Structure 1
Amino acid sequence: MTILNFSIEYDAVNSHNTFTNGDTINGRIIVEASKETKVRSLVFIAKGKARVVWYQHYGRNHHRVFWAKEKYYNIEHHILREARQDGTEVIGKGRHVFPFSFNLPDRRIPSSFKDCTGKIVHKLKAELKQSMKLTKKAKSEFTFRSKADMDVPGLLEPQYGSKDKSLKVIM
C-alpha cells in the first residue's frame, strides 16, 4: 500500500465550530505516501444537500415510500491534474499537505439537521485517483447554521399566549 494516510481537515472560525452563509472555510488535504507515487488527480469537493424519506400507510398491509433530495451547492477544485504525457502527477515519499479555501454561498441554505426521517448535510470531501487502483476518499462533515431571514412578516412581533387545562385525578 503506497498511500499510508489520506485525510481532510478544516479550520474552525469560532468557538462553536459552526459556519454560516458567506463564510470562508480554509483547510488542508493530507496525503502520506510510503514511496514515490503516481497520481491521476486530487479533487476537493464541498457539498450541501438534503434527503428525506416518509411513508404513507393504506390499510393494514399496504404502504408507499416517498423520498426527495435536493442539492444546495456543489463546489469542486482540482488540486492535482494530469500534468505529464502519461496522464499522471508524481508525489514523493512522505507527508504532503494541499491547502484549500472556498466561500460558502451567501444565499438561503438550510442549517445542518439529522433525524430518522431525513437530513441536511454539509460536508467536505477529497478524492485521490490513481491508475488501476480504487479511488481513495476522505470526508469531513461540518455544522452549518443559516443566518436568520429578517424579511419574514411578523418575525419581530411579540409572541405570547396561554392555555388553561384542568386535570381530575380519581382514586
Structure 2
Amino acid sequence: MGLGDKQKLTVSFHRTGTGSPLPIYYSGETVSGKVTLELSSETKVKYLEMYAKGKAKVRWTECRTVGNTTYVEVYYDEVEYFNLKTILLGEENDRDQSADGAIRLGPGNHDYEFSFQLPQG
C-alpha cells in the first residue's frame, strides 16, 4: 500500500518502565503495541500485515604479527531468532483480490493492535 505524502504510518510499543527511550524486550516476553494509519482521505486497503524479525550479528578482527608480516583475521556470524508475520487488517488471501474487493478506510486515525511472544532463549 502506498500511503502518499499526506498520510502517515506509525508503530508504537506498549513498553514502559525500562528507563530507556527504546522499547527493549527480553526472551520470552510479549511484545505489544499498535500500528496507526493517519489518513487524510479515503484509502482502499486490501490487507495490512506486519513483519517482525529478531536477529543478532557479531563481527570482530584479530591481528597477529609473524616476523615482519601482519595477519588480520575477520570473524563474523549472524543468527536469526525469529521471523514473524501478523495480519492486522483483512485476510492473507486478499492480496490476490482486485481493488474492488478492498477495504475502504475513511480519513482520520485507524489503530491496529498487535502482540506476539518472543521465543525463549
| TMscore range, shorter length | 0.5 to 0.7
Deviations 1:67-114 (A, max 9, x none): 210011122112234278315443221111011111222x22xxxxxx
The TM-score with structure 1 as length reference comes to: 0.50
**Compared CA separation, residues 38 and 71, structure 1 to 2 (3 A):** same
Unmatched 5+ stretches in structure 1: 109-171
Q: Which has the higher contact order (CA 8 A, sep 6+)?
A: 2
**Compared CA separation, residues 36 and 66, structure 1 to 2 (3 A):** same
Task: Find the partner of 2:81 among 67, 72, 77.
Answer: 72
AA at the equivalent of 1:74:
N
The TM-score with structure 2 as length reference comes to: 0.67
The answer to whether the 8 Å contact 1:33/1:95 transfers is yes
The answer to whether the 8 Å contact 2:49/2:85 transfers is yes
- 1:20 is aligned to 26
Percent identity over paired residues: 29
Q: C-alpha displacement at 1:32, in angstroms?
A: 0.7
- 1:85 is aligned to 97
Q: C-alpha displacement at 1:37, in angstroms?
A: 1.6
Determine whether 1:44 maps to 2:47.
Answer: no
Partner of 1:66, secondary structure, is: strand
* Paired positions, count: 105
CA distance in 2 between partners of 1:69 and 1:84 (Å): 34
The answer to whether the 8 Å contact 2:47/2:95 transfers is no
The answer to whether the 8 Å contact 1:3/1:31 transfers is no
Partner of 1:22, secondary structure, is: coil
Q: C-alpha displacement at 1:6, in angstroms?
A: 0.8
Unmatched 5+ stretches in structure 2: none
Task: Find the partner of 2:41 among 35, 39, 59.
Answer: 35
The answer to whether the 8 Å contact 1:2/1:33 transfers is no
**Compared CA separation, residues 66 and 83, structure 1 to 2 (3 A):** closer
Q: C-alpha displacement at 1:48, in angstroms?
A: 1.9
CA distance in 2 between partners of 1:20 and 1:64 (Å): 32
**Compared CA separation, residues 57 and 40, structure 1 to 2 (3 A):** farther
- 2:60 is aligned to 54
RMSD over aligned CA atoms reads 2.7
Q: C-alpha displacement at 1:40, in angstroms?
A: 4.2
